[in-house]
Each structure stands twice: as C-alpha cells, then as structure tokens.
Amino acid sequence: MKYLSAYSEQTLSQVRQVLDQGRLGDVLKQRYPKAHDIRNDRALYDYVQDLRNEFLRNAAPIDKVAFDSKIHVINHALGLHTSVSRVQGGKLKAKHEIRVATMFREVPLEFLRMIAVHELAHVKEKQHDKAFYKLCTYMEPNYHQYEFDTRLYLTHLDASGQRLW
Ligand SMILES: [Zn+2]
C-alpha cells in the first residue's frame, strides 16, 4: 500500500478489502473502461499545451513535455517539473520542462489529465501547499479523485503485475 500512504486508515482498510477480494482491477476497469490515445511525446506536448492555454495563459510557456521511462513511480513522484534558468539576451530566463512517467501512456485520460494538471500547477506553485492544490482543482475539479484512482491502479499493478489498459 506504499502508493496510498497519505490516505486515512479507514480508506486504507477499504482498499485492502477490495484488494484481498481480488476486485480492485474490476472496480477500476468499470469506472474507466478505456485508455486515452496520447501515445507519443508530440501528442503529449499538444495535450499539455492545450491545458496550459485554457487555464494558465499568463504563466510561463512550457518548453518541453515528454514521457520519461526513468521516472520511477514511488510515493509522490509520478511526474517531474523542472525549471532551468539560463541567461538569454542579458536576462535570466527559466526554461520549463514537464516529464511524465511512462506508465501514463497506457491509462485512462483522467489519470493523464491529473498528472498534467499537477505538473502544470508547479509552473506557478513550487510547493505542495494549499495554493498548489487550489490551482490543481481549478484546472480539474476531480483532481483528488483522479489522483486517488491513479494510486489505486499503481496498487493494483503492484499486487497483480497485470496492466488494465
Ligand atoms: Zn509535485
């Protein structure tokens, strides 16, 4: 249950029950019947850019977006946002890059949306504080539900090794 360590004991025991009954995969599959079709970096870039244009028009532009097989999904690290400062034309400019763990290539759109929203929010808010989560839920009202379900899927993968999508 390492992916769910931030949740309450009550929630954990409910998940454990479903997991023990071998029903976690079915529950997820029923809630999310199909995977998205954003399979390469180009498509991912367009998807994230569209989200940015919709919600964060005034924030810094995103320079690069890519799936990254080197991101190991442990605890809270499902994606990565980096800003590298470089001197450009005598001014310090930050280059924003978003990386998303490869496992998000074959998941429902809701899970990908959650991680895209999370990493985009970091362009404005560095810490995981109140302002950060306010921005996440502004971009996606079901943000917390999708994060929980993503973590349920990781828990399912851990227990069964069977991909659902
Ligand atoms: Zn974060």
| Domain segments of the chain as ranges | 2-160
The DSSP code sequence of 17-53 is HHHHTT-HHHHHHHHS-------SHHHHHHHHHHHHH
User: What integer pLDDT is reported at residue 71 of this predicted model?
Assistant: 75
Q: What's the CA gap between 150 and 152, in Å, rounded?
A: 5
What backbone phi and psi angles, to 5 degrees, belong to 82?
-125, 140
Tens-place pLDDT, residues 46-91:
999 999 999 999 888 899 999 988 876 654 566 666 666 677 777 7
- Ligand 1 centroid to Cα of residue 122, in Å, is 7
Residue 133, CA distances (Å) to 42, 77, 155 in order: 27, 16, 23
Q: What is the pLDDT averaged over residues 10-21? A: 96
**What average pLDDT is seen over the chain?**
90
User: What integer pLDDT is reported at residue 79 of this predicted model?
Assistant: 63
Tens-place pLDDT, residues 90-131:
777 778 889 898 899 999 999 999 999 999 999 899 888 999
- Tokens 């763990």 locate to 101
- Ligand 1 centroid to Cα of residue 133, in Å, is 10
- Ligand 1 centroid to Cα of residue 151, in Å, is 14
Q: Is the pLDDT of residue 10 over 70?
A: yes
- Ligand 1 centroid to Cα of residue 131, in Å, is 12
- Ligand 1 centroid to Cα of residue 73, in Å, is 12
Nearest Cα to Cα of residue 55 among 113, 12, 99: 113
Is residue 2 helix, strand or coil?
A: helix
- Ligand 1 centroid to Cα of residue 25, in Å, is 26
Architecture of the domain whose range is 2-160:
2-Layer Sandwich (3.30)
Q: What's the CA gap between 20 and 22, in Å, rounded?
A: 5
User: Are 64 and 80 a contacting pair, CB within 8 Å?
Assistant: no
